[in-house]
Amino acid sequence: MSIGILVLAVLILAAAGFVLGRQRALATAGGDPRRLHSLPGHYGQFTAILAAVPALVLLAIWLLAQPLAIESRIAPMLTADSPADRSLAMADVRRISIGLDLLAVSDRLSEDAVASLSSETLAPRLRQVGTAVTQVTPEALSAAKAHRTMRHTLQIWMTAAVGLTAATCFVFALLRIRPDFRARNVSERFVMWLLIAASLVAVATTAGIVLSLVSETLHFFRIYPAREFFLSLTWNPQFRGGSDLGIWPLLWGTVYISIIALIVAVPIGLLTAVYLSEYASRRTRGWAKPAIEILAGIPTIVYGLFALITVGPALRDWFAQPLGLGASSSSVMTAGLVMGIMLIPFVSSLSDDIINAVPQSLRDGSYGLGATQSETVKLVILPAALPGIVGAVLLAASRAIGETMIVVLGAGAAAKLSLNPFEAMTTVTVKIVSQLTGDTEFASPETLVAFALGLTLFVMTLVLNVLALYIVRKYREQYE
């Protein structure tokens, strides 16, 4: 039985369990639901949960453990010199073993026929059924046959074990149903565990990302001195080793571009938010707010194109060249301006929400004292909303730091430490991409430095986010 059908069978049993559990609960209570501890539906849920969950958990564990068990038995049959060779050979065996299955179906081979297949003519036949193997050694073939038999036997055992678990738990659940049985508590607890499991996925992913970054970074620092990385002022990776991998030019580019972006985005976004929430009529707000939010929906690569084709050349022709500051159309200024435009809706819609959260009674208080609208905004609303706005700005900053596409197309890829805003520079994110997609060997410092850069970036944005959350939370407490 295939796994899909097995899962389906368990689910059907669970559905039947729901109906039967409900009926049985009503029956034990003599048809009067008020005599039950929980609602009849809860007894149904209880039976369904017991029928499905243990069986499906068992299935998941089995599916994880089965390949490990089989491969540890197969491994001694293969001769290999290094762990890398062994894993390659094992991958071959796995492919051939699956290929044999396909062959057996397409050529209608009996089990004996499969067992007596020989390795000489096998490769082309396997390729015909869609298995990518170049050659089949006798050793690999015998291992693959063993692999296949074990798979089949274990599969039968698995079906039996899962089916038996589901059936046992199902019957057990039905027997437990009695009017005073607390089925609601069971189903409530199940919901709780479901929610915990869902949130664990996010937490575990974050932890996994951090762990993999940390382990590769440690690997990097073992082959490249940390002092150099943190203190050197040059970034000059070489293909043949002997590179300078100082983080400062990249960090400077990141910070410089982000600052320009924030200088553009924060005032414009904030003033937009004030207009929308305080001055605009309901009609204007109705179309202006979505129009601005469209900006937020544009993919950053499109902003990058805008920077490359329009903003960059315009800045070069009108500012950089007349002022004698450079002749490059990729510049910090280009990337910063365009990134600033990208961040405007981000700042404005966050600030708009925050300004709207300032209670109307404060506005009334100010107007009631004879304040004008701009005095009210300046003296009451913005100070009251300030912590929240700071939080919004920090969130925008962490987006600016993580932005890649606009920088590649707008600012170029030259790592430089310079104050001239019309010079091409680059950022941490761009270099992560170019180091990882280069031709160098994976274990070289030139590639692994990407992880150290990534971790640095992660720490920077983490600090900004924590700061932002802290400030936003403090702000929330004010009106409680």
Partner 1 sequence: MDDIRFAERDLCVTEAKIAARDVQVHYGTNHALKDVNVDILEQTVTAFIGPSGCGKSTFLRCLNRMNDTIPGCRIEGRLTLDGQDIYDPRVDPVQLRAKVGMVFQKPNPFPKSIYDNVAYGPRIHGLTRNKAELDEIVEKSLRRAALWEEAKDRLASPGTGLSGGQQQRLCIARAIATSPEVLLMDEPCSALDPIATAQIEELIDELRAQFSVVIVTHSMQQAARVSQRTAFFHLGRLVEYGETGQIFTNPHDPRTESYISGRIG
The footprint of partner 1 (CB under 8 A) covers 282, 359-372, 375, 379-380, 383-384, 478
By C-beta, is 205 or 374 nearer to partner 1? 374
The CB-of-361 to partner 1 minimum distance in angstroms stands at 4
Using DSSP, state whether 422 is helix, strand or coil.
coil
The CB-of-476 to partner 1 minimum distance in angstroms stands at 13
The CB-of-350 to partner 1 minimum distance in angstroms stands at 19
Residues near 202 by Cβ (< 8 Å), separated by ≥ 6? none
The CB-of-348 to partner 1 minimum distance in angstroms stands at 22
Q: Letter for the amino acid at 30?
A: G
By C-beta, is 242 or 370 nearer to partner 1? 370
Using DSSP, state whether 244 is helix, strand or coil.
strand
CB 262 within 8 A of CB 343: yes
Proportion of the chain in helix, strand, coil states, percent, rounded to 5: 80, 0, 20
Count CB-CB contacts under 10 A for residue 289: 18
The CB-of-275 to partner 1 minimum distance in angstroms stands at 17
Q: Letter for the amino acid at 202?
A: A
The CB-of-343 to partner 1 minimum distance in angstroms stands at 27
Please provide the DSSP assignment of 435-459 as one string.
Answer: HHTSSS-TTSHHHHHHHHHHHHHHH
Q: Which of 305, 295, 304 is nearest to 343 (CA)?
A: 295
By C-beta, is 363 or 431 nearer to partner 1? 363
What does the alpha-carbon distance between residue 8 and residue 1 come to, in Å, rounded to a whole number?
Answer: 11
By C-beta, is 154 or 382 nearer to partner 1? 382
Q: What is the CA radius of gyration of the chain?
A: 32
The CB-of-359 to partner 1 minimum distance in angstroms stands at 7
Token match 């992913």: residue?
205
By C-beta, is 253 or 388 nearer to partner 1? 388
By C-beta, is 274 or 425 nearer to partner 1? 274
By C-beta, is 388 or 445 nearer to partner 1? 388
The CB-of-377 to partner 1 minimum distance in angstroms stands at 12
What does the alpha-carbon distance between residue 434 and residue 453 come to, in Å, rounded to a whole number?
Answer: 12
The CB-of-243 to partner 1 minimum distance in angstroms stands at 54
Count CB-CB contacts under 10 A for residue 202: 9
Find the DSSP H helices in 75-182: 83-106, 111-115, 122-128, 138-176
Burial category of 281 from C-beta neighbours within 10 Å (exposed 0-12, middle 13-18, buried 19 and up): exposed
Q: Which of 384, 389, 168, 364 is nearest to 271 (CA)?
A: 389
Token match 């850069």: residue?
453
By C-beta, is 117 or 380 nearer to partner 1? 380
By C-beta, is 305 or 382 nearer to partner 1? 382
What does the alpha-carbon distance between residue 469 and residue 204 come to, in Å, rounded to a whole number?
Answer: 21
CB 334 within 8 A of CB 320: no
The CB-of-384 to partner 1 minimum distance in angstroms stands at 5
By C-beta, is 5 or 369 nearer to partner 1? 369
